[in-house]
Amino acid sequence: MSLWKRQLSLDELNQTSAGTMVEHLGIVYTRMDDESLEAEMPVDNRTQQPFGLLHGGASVVLAETLGSMAGFLTTTDGQCVVGTEINASHHRAVASGSVRGVCKPLHLGKTSQVWEIAIFDARGKRCCTSRLTTATMG
């Protein structure tokens, strides 16, 4: 059974990014199944820090993007989700290619949600683990 209450295609999800930081950083939703949402982000001049590595803040943007959209997908009309806290542990450097974020719920309550976002490099090695807490309003 799917945890998603809203039924949007990947194309529709990607259209929501038009004109936002999500689009600017090149984040693209790539996969959705009954329990998770995934997106990819390039490691390039938009997402690297001055020393040529993936910027930790860009990883956090990817994580919050995934968690916020996943939260939205679990709500119904008249509800919205806002982030209230995020953290990230960076495990390994990434210098090029792309990274893939995989978002899964840890807790889905009536007024709060907690999402874990694991970010992997192109070789499938975990480079970041993030946790996003959201509040459901409406």
| Binned average pLDDT, 10 residues per bin, the chain of 138 residues | 95 98 98 98 98 98 98 96 97 98 97 98 98 96
Would you please indicate which residues are annotated as catalytic (active-site) residues?
64
Domains and CATH numbers, the chain: 10-137 (3.10.129.10)
Q: Looking at residue 1, what is its pLDDT?
A: 87
Q: Enter the pTM of the model.
A: 0.97
Q: Looking at residue 86, what is its pLDDT?
A: 98
8-45 as b/e: b if 16+ CB within 10 A: beeeebbeebeeeebeebbbbbeebeeebbbbbbbbee
- Cα–Cα distances in Å, from 133 out to 21, 48, 67, 127? 20, 26, 8, 20
53-83 as b/e: b if 16+ CB within 10 A: bbbeebbbbbbbbbbbbbbbbbbeeeeebeb
Give the containing element (helix H, strand E) for 69.
helix 56-73
